[in-house]
Amino acid sequence: MNWSEIKNLQSISQKEIPFFPADKFFSDIIESVKNGRRLLNYFGISESDKVKIYCLIADDELSKIFIAYTELNRGESYSSLTIDIPASHLFERELFEQCGIIPEGHPWLKPVRKGIAGINPNETQYEFFKMLGEEVHEVAVGPIHAGIIEPGHFRFSAHGELVHNLEIQLGFQHRGVEKLFVKNDNILYQTKLAESIAGDSVIAHSGTFLRAVESLMNINVSKRVKITRAVMLELERIAVHLGDLSAISNDIAYLTGNSIFGALRTLIINTSMNICGNRFGRGMMKPGGVNFDIDETKRKSLIDTINKVNNDIQIAVDVMFSSASVMERLEKTGIVSKETAIAIGMVGMAARASGISIDARVDHPFGAYQFFPIHKLTLDSGDVFARSYIRFIEIQQSVKIINDLLADFQKGELTVGKNEMQKESFVVSVTEGWRGEIVHCLLTDETGRIKNIKIKDPSFNNWFAIALAVREEGISDFPLCNKSFNLSYCGFDL
Amino acid sequence: MFDLIKARKNHGYQAIKNIADAKILSEHRGFPVIDESKLNGNVESIINSCPTKAISDKPLAINLGKCIFCGECEKISYGAIKFSNNYKIGCDSEKKLAVDSSVTYEKFLDSAIEAKKEIHKIFGRSLKLRQVSAAGCNGCEMELNACGNVNFDMGRFGIDFVASPKHADGIVITGPVSKNMSKALSDAYESISEPKIVIATGACAISGGLFADSKEINRTFFNNVKVDLFIPGCPPHPLVIINAILKFLE
């Protein structure tokens, strides 16, 4: 395969991305995925009637990314990849919706973000999957759900309590994020926009975007900045994992866990506020560095807090996971097997809970992880228990990472000067957020401005896993399964 | 069993006793203090520094409904704009969102949320709210959820979020309102029986925030519906939210 070989955050000229005729392009993709590589991103860019289709394939073991493109006319079709690579089903649906390229033979070419049933009477209404049978009934949930949560539609085909099929239709949150990045050529605005792609991954998304920009500007941030950013990213991970343990406890009416993990989360997000003035890390990141320093006082209080939290979690977790009534709800609920997880291209924490060894901090290291190696954590059972317990061990790991990083926290520049971005270039930035890998692909035009940005939140890979996890489960376990993934609606809808 | 008791004891009592006087870190960016005398011929760069166009000139003013409290203007303003950590920044009319040098925090508090007898009479002891996220990024949603946790415990004031709009006395809106959510938002609002209140939470809900000029946004809902309470922030801290609602019910 003579595709261009790059690394995470390595910017290249667009001329270096090889073009292949469609036949070779698609057969190369199928062959490399069959050989154990992974679809990292796959998207189209329309230029008048022509559509350039880019594909990025990750080799996680070699820490390499392969890239190439092909060109088709709008309305043209090709033989769908989904039959050979189930993980590509959503990428192909998106390509069809955004660029009008038809993946011939796609099993289910339904809307991603547009033309959703019941929203716009002028658009053709999409018909949900129907199960026939006298005693099969449908349960429609959403877009507005019972709690304080983002909107999305869930359609269950059930037989009594038993769920046979769940169809998830998203798109309600679509805000046109990618277009706004291109429309407003102002790096400050773009940074704030990146912070708002998903409100629970502020540091992860803004960091992904800024590292891409810094690579295109050809600037290197100081070691202190890299460590500060990594500390904030790990704090974000600890905070959300704690919040989720609290919410999972709530969903199984284990109120002790709900209270304790909730209160511990408050301590962590207040630590973020102590550093940057915002509980979710907003305002922390800027191009070329960070806006706020972790001075000696703040460093000490941060370490005291995370160590206290780590200690208290241990006490709470011991009680929680030794309770039979808790384990009865978590174990063997919502299983996603390793084979399924690989086939549908799951990423991040949920994939690790199904036994896949995948973590961008190790596979495609960025920032501080380039000089601070960590090890990957996996569990095998792929059930709600695994997705809960992995949160606990990842919190412990994050606490250790922060402690170690801050033990050698030397002075350094908080900001380095900005440059113009390289013209007609391309860069891919991959970050392991708490949910999984975030991928931003940036292309610049002949003046060095952002011409296209393609954002992939880990939710994009993982939503389909929820649909599979609840099959043959009781419908009453759906909230628990859903919470064990805690996927982003906004991150998917953009 | 003993381990459980130990864990509960270690957890202790977490609720903030006096919500109205709760301390907040000095790093928190709350009510902005504006001092025009410190302007240094740099008004234009201050205005341009704002990602949501919340700053206007003559007089120098910040619109709290657009502000995402990122603090970028403060950094280049030589003291003309300073974010204090004062957190009671909710108000009951669009006009009051504009803060200039004549509006000190004390003055703002005096009239920010004016007591209404009928509101107090109907909702003062029990307020049930339906929350609708209309393309909210989950920031405001997480803070609204946090209002109910053991630290802030908004339930003790008789304020709760409910699942059905039919059970609700009002609606709390977050997000800039995407085209794809505009119908669901209207439907939810229509389902709430009169009398009902409308609370807009966060810069996105109040003004569209960072998404104000996106083509995928549809804010016509607000052409026909009057907002009763504005809660600025990105996202607003639970203390901002709870104090605004409590003051509104007073």
DSSP string, A367-424: GGGGTS-------S--SHHHHHHHHHHHHHHHHHHHHHHHHT-----SB----PPPTT
Grade residue A116 by pLDDT with cuts at 50, 70 and 90: low
Question: What ipTM goes with this model?
Answer: 0.93
Model confidence at A111: pLDDT above 60: yes
Residues A120-157 have pLDDT tens digits of: 555 666 778 888 888 899 998 989 998 899 999 999 99
- The nearest alpha carbon in chain B to A185 belongs to B51
Instruction: Label residue A445 by pLDDT band (50, 70, 90).
Output: very high
Query: Scanning every residue of chain B, which has its alpha carbon at the shortest distance from the alpha carbon of A187?
Result: B51
A residues 149-188 closer than 8 Å to B (CB): 149-151, 171-176, 179-180, 183, 186, 188
- H or E element that contains A463: helix A458-469
Whether residues B64 and B125 share a domain: the answer is no
Question: Do residues B47 and B166 both lie within one domain?
Answer: no
Instruction: Provide the token pair at B27.
Output: 């790093």
CA dihedral B154, B155, B158, B159 (to 10 degrees): 60
HSE-CB for A2 with a 13 A CA cutoff: 6
Residues 339-358 of chain A with CB under 8 A from chain B are: none
| pLDDT at residue A118 greater than cutoff 70 | no
Band of residue B9 on the pLDDT scale cut at 50, 70, 90: confident
Using a CB-CB cut-off of 8 Å, the residues of chain B touching A274 are: 25, 27
Contact call for B14 and A280, based on CB within 8 A: no
CATH label, A4-104, candidates 3.40.50.700, 3.30.460.80, 3.40.50.1780, 2.60.120.260: 3.30.460.80
Residue A119 has pLDDT above 60, yes or no: no
What distance lies between CA A242 and its chain's CA centroid? 18
Same-domain status, B73 and B192: no
pLDDT attached to residue B42: 84
Q: Are the Cβ atoms of A490 and B138 closer than 8 angstroms?
A: yes
Q: Residue A122: its pLDDT value, please?
A: 59
Mean model confidence pLDDT for chain B:
92
Indicate the pLDDT class of residue A7, thresholds 50, 70 and 90.
Answer: very high
**One domain for residues B139 and B196:** yes
B131 in contact with A at a CB cutoff of 8 Å?
Answer: yes
Residues in chain B with CB shorter than 8 Å from the CB of A180 are: 210-211, 213-214
Residues paired with residue A158 on neighbouring β-strands, in sequence order: A137, A163
Partner B contacted by A270 (CB < 8 A): yes
Q: Is the pLDDT of residue A109 over 90?
A: no
Q: What is the pLDDT of residues A292-335, one digit of tens each?
A: 999 999 999 999 999 999 999 998 999 999 999 999 999 999 99
In this predicted structure, the answer to whether residue A385 has a pLDDT above a threshold of 70 is yes
Residue B231 pLDDT level (bands cut at 50, 70, 90): very high
Output the pLDDT for position A126: 73
Is B22 part of any domain?
no
pLDDT in tens, B32-58: 999 988 888 788 889 999 999 999 988
B194 and B126 assigned to the same domain? yes
Q: Which of B27, B135, B144 is facing A175, going by the closest CB pair? A: B135
Judged by CB atoms closer than 8 Å, whether chains meet at B29 and A174 is answered as no
Query: Are residues B123 and B102 both part of a single domain?
Result: no
Question: Which sequence spans correspond to the domains of chain A?
Answer: 4-104, 177-457
A36 touches chain B (CB under 8 A): no
Mean pLDDT of all residues belonging to chain A: 93
Residues B125 and B92 in one domain: no
Q: Does B45 touch chain A (CB under 8 A)?
A: no
Which of B8, B27, B141 minimises the CB distance to A274? B27
Judge whether B4 lies within some domain.
no
* A318/B contact by beta carbon, under 8 A: yes
Tell me if B224 is assigned to some domain: yes
What is the pLDDT, as a whole number, of residue A268? 96
With CB atoms and an 8 Å threshold, state whether A147 touches B163: yes
Nearest to B161 among A148, A174, A262 (CB): A148
Between CA A200 and CA A205, with CA A203 as vertex, the angle to 5 degrees is 80
Asked if A280 reaches chain B (Cβ–Cβ under 8 Å), the answer is yes
Cβ–Cβ below 8 Å for B142 and A171:
no
- What does the DSSP 8-state code read for residue B94? G
Identity of the residue numbered B170? G
Is pLDDT of A272 > 60? yes
Asked if residue B3 is part of any domain, the answer here is no
- Are B54 and B62 spatial neighbours (Cβ–Cβ below 8 Å)? yes
> Is A312 in the B-facing interface, judged by CB distances under 8 Å?
yes
Q: Encoding tokens for residue A300?
A: 């000490």
**Is B121 found in the same domain as B80?**
no
Domain extent, residue B125, equals 117-249
- Between CA A212 and CA B17 the distance in angstroms is 46
Bond before A151 cis per omega within 30 degrees: no
Which of B77, B112, B147 is at the close of a domain?
Answer: B112
At residue B10 the predicted structure's pLDDT band, cuts being 50, 70 and 90, is confident
Would an 8 Å CB–CB cutoff place A332 in contact with chain B?
Answer: no
CATH architecture under which domain A177-457 falls: Orthogonal Bundle (1.10)
Q: How many other C-beta atoms are found inside a 10 Å radius of the C-beta of residue B46?
A: 23
Residue in chain A closest to B173 (alpha carbons) equals: A148
| Best mutation target, B50, B142, B201, to test chain A (most A CBs within 10 A) | B142
Q: Say how many domains are in chain B.
A: 2
Please answer yes or no on whether B142 and A243 come within 8 Å at the CB atom: yes
What is the rounded distance in angstroms from the CA atom of residue A314 to the CA atom of residue B9? 14
Residues of A in contact with B54 (CB under 8 A): none
Tell me the average pLDDT across A233-245.
96
Residue B29 near chain A (CB below 8 Å):
yes
Residue B143 in any domain: the answer is yes
Per CATH, A4-104 and A177-457 having the same topology is answered no
Distances (CA, A) of A287 to A128, A214, A220, A283: 44, 7, 11, 11
| Residue in B246, B199, B167, B136 with CA at minimum distance from that of residue A146 | B167
The CATH number covering residue B91 comes to: 3.30.70.3270
- Decide if A273 and B28 are in contact by the 8 Å CB cutoff: yes
Please give the Cα distance from A469 to A380 (Å, whole number): 15
Same domain, B200 and B243: yes
**Residue B128 and residue B106 share a domain:** no
Is the overall model pTM greater than 0.90, yes or no?
yes
The span from the CA of A470 to the CA of A480, in Å, is 10
Task: Assess if residue B12 is contained within a domain.
Answer: no
Q: Which of B112, B147, B169 is the last residue of a domain?
A: B112
B241 and B153 co-located in one domain:
yes
According to the model, what pLDDT value does residue B2 have? 84
**pLDDT, position A121:** 55
- What is the structure's pLDDT at A123? 60
Region B119-147: mean pLDDT is 92
Task: Tell me: pLDDT of B13 over 90.
Answer: no
Asked if residue A115 has pLDDT above 70, the reply is no
B157 and B229 housed in the same domain: yes
Helix (H) or strand (E) holding A429: strand A425-432
Q: Which residues contact B171 (CB under 8 A, 6 or more apart)?
A: B129, B130, B131, B132, B165, B188, B189, B192, B196, B197, B198, B199
* Nearest residue to A319 (alpha-carbon basis) of B9, B14, B152: B9
Domain CATH code at residue B208: 3.40.50.12280
| Domain end point (choices B95, B112, B129) | B112
CB A213 within 8 A of CB A421: yes
In percent, how much of chain B has pLDDT > 70?
100
Q: Which neighbouring-strand residues pair with A79?
A: A104
